[in-house]
Amino acid sequence: MKLFNNVSEFEYPWEQLSAANWRKYPNEASTHVKAVDVLRRELDPSGRRLISERLITCEQSVPKWISMLIGGCNVSYVREVSVVDLDTKTLTLRSCNLTCANILKVFETVKYSPHPRDSKKTLFEQEAKITAYAGISKLCNKIEEWSVNRFHENALKGKRGFDTVLETLSERWNISESLVDDIGSSLVDKINETVEDFKAVTEDLPKGTRHESSFLSGNYSEIRKAFTKSS
Amino acid sequence: MGNIMSTSFAPECADLKHTYDKCFNHWYSEKFLKGLSMENECSKQWYAYTTCVQAALVKQGIKPALDEARKEAPFENGGEPEKVE
């Protein structure tokens, strides 16, 4: 298993950011995220805590050798559970891939909260756990390494994407405080560049990531697991 | 396709989803965020949309993987995975 952490900030207040979160994927312009569906949504009796379960449908883009291994599915699904808490002012999103979960599992936790020193900003914290389950440890490592690279590639892209969404929504927020269904086509143009990568299976994390465990220790644990299983 | 808001994985549910999303987004920023709401007010739109989605999940064979993930990281837990050794 490999672990990644990342902290960054957005130049928008938390409230605005949490509202924008629900419209992050106008899919028409995005290439990876094809659809977003709400599967379950419950409001706490207090009216201050909202839990949502969403299904994110992505077009898969994996290396040929992985898709051969997996069997050539070109659509992948991610399940996400999010909690908006008005009392702690946090939006926490936890997601995991449903597709090919027996081979590779990416569990991502993202938390948005008001910046402790500047209420006009939002703090973004991210953690991802990547686990490959293939039988041979070498292969596991290869898949994990590939995932790491994907994270890097899409890093800045994703952050920039959400920033442009926020920018556009922000203009309207200031005009009417209403984020109703009126984003217009300018948003589509802006989003065109990026948003798709914000979240999904392995190809979707917003910013640079760093290793928390060395390749070697990852290796050892896989080897140990293999031995434990066979004995 | 052809809509600004994200579509549904099931084409037959797309219109119902847009109607629901529109209601939800308005409720979210105008009521929920302001602490003005004790209930999710879009239940009528939700019911129509979710009925369609639940059927499509079964039809497209997504349900088993979803159920597995739900067991692993329950909704009631805010999606936090249960500790696995």
Give the burial class of A49: count Cβ atoms within 10 A of its Cβ; 0-12 exposed, 13-18 middle, 19 or more buried: middle
Q: Considering only alpha carbons, which residue of chain A is nearest residue B52?
A: A39
DSSP A211: B
Q: From the list A28, A81, A188, which residue is nearest B78 (CB)?
A: A81
Pick the closest to residue A6 from A212, A213, A218 (CA basis): A212
Token readout for B46 is: 């939700």
In whole angstroms, what is the distance from residue A110 CA to residue A126 CA?
4
Query: Does ipTM surpass 0.85 in this model?
Result: yes
In a domain, A91, yes or no: yes
Q: pLDDT band for A174, please (50, 70, 90 cuts).
A: low
Non-local (6+) Cβ contacts of B13 within 8 A are A37, B49, B52, B53, B56
**3-state class (DSSP) for residue A191:** helix
Do residues A52 and A135 both lie within one domain? yes
- Average pLDDT estimate for A70-93: 86
Residue A31: CATH number of its domain: 3.30.530.20
Q: From the list B4, B8, B32, which residue is nearest A50 (CB)?
A: B32
Do residues A141 and A104 both lie within one domain? yes
Q: What is the pLDDT of residue A85?
A: 96
Do residues A166 and A215 both lie within one domain? no
Do residues A25 and A136 both lie within one domain? yes
Torsion from C-alpha of A165, A170, A175, A181, nearest 10 degrees: 30
Sheet holding A49-59, edge to edge: A2-10, A122-132, A104-114, A90-97, A75-85, A49-59, A33-43
- Assess whether pLDDT exceeds 80 at residue A219: no
Name, of A150-154, A167-171, B15-19, the range with top average pLDDT: B15-19
In a domain, A231, yes or no: no
A137-176 and A215-230 helices cross at what angle (nearest 10)? 120
Do residues A69 and A103 both lie within one domain? yes
Do residues A87 and A129 both lie within one domain? yes
Question: Which domain does A204 fall in, by range?
Answer: 182-226
Q: Does the distance separating the beta carbons of B22 and A183 come in below 8 Å?
A: no
Q: What is the pLDDT of residues A103-143, one digit of tens each?
A: 778 888 999 999 999 989 999 998 888 887 755 566 666 77
In whole angstroms, what is the distance from residue A22 CA to residue A3 CA?
27
For chain B, first and last CA: distance in Å?
Answer: 43
Give A129's Cβ-side CA count (13 Å radius). 11
Pick the closest to residue A125 from A13, A213, A5, A2 (CA basis): A5
Do residues A7 and A98 both lie within one domain? yes
Do residues A116 and A218 both lie within one domain? no
B interface test, pick of A50, A59, A79 with most B CB neighbours within 10 Å: A79
Q: Which residue has the tokens 């207040």?
A: A13
Q: Does the distance separating the beta carbons of B28 and A81 come in below 8 Å?
A: no
Q: What is the pLDDT of residue A50?
A: 95
Residues 52-81 on B with a CB inside 8 Å of A are 53, 57, 62, 65-66, 68-70, 72-73, 75, 78-81
Do residues A189 and A150 both lie within one domain? no
Separation in Å, CA of A29 to nearest CA in chain B = 9
- Average pLDDT estimate for B21-43: 89
For chain A, say whether B84 makes contact (Cβ under 8 Å): no
Residue A1 or A26, more confident:
A1
Do residues A126 and A205 both lie within one domain? no
Give CA separation, A223 vs A135, A140, B61, in Å.
10, 10, 34
Token readout for B41 is: 């007010």
- Give the containing element (helix H, strand E) for B67: helix B63-72
Side chain identity, residue A105: K
pTM above 0.95, yes or no: no
Ramachandran angles phi, psi of A11, nearest 5°: -85, 35
Structural domain tally of chain A?
A: 2
Do residues A157 and A195 both lie within one domain? no
Do residues A150 and A61 both lie within one domain? yes
Residue B26 or A27, more confident:
B26
Q: From the list B17, B33, B62, which residue is nearest A15 (CB)?
A: B33
Q: pLDDT band for A1, please (50, 70, 90 cuts).
A: confident
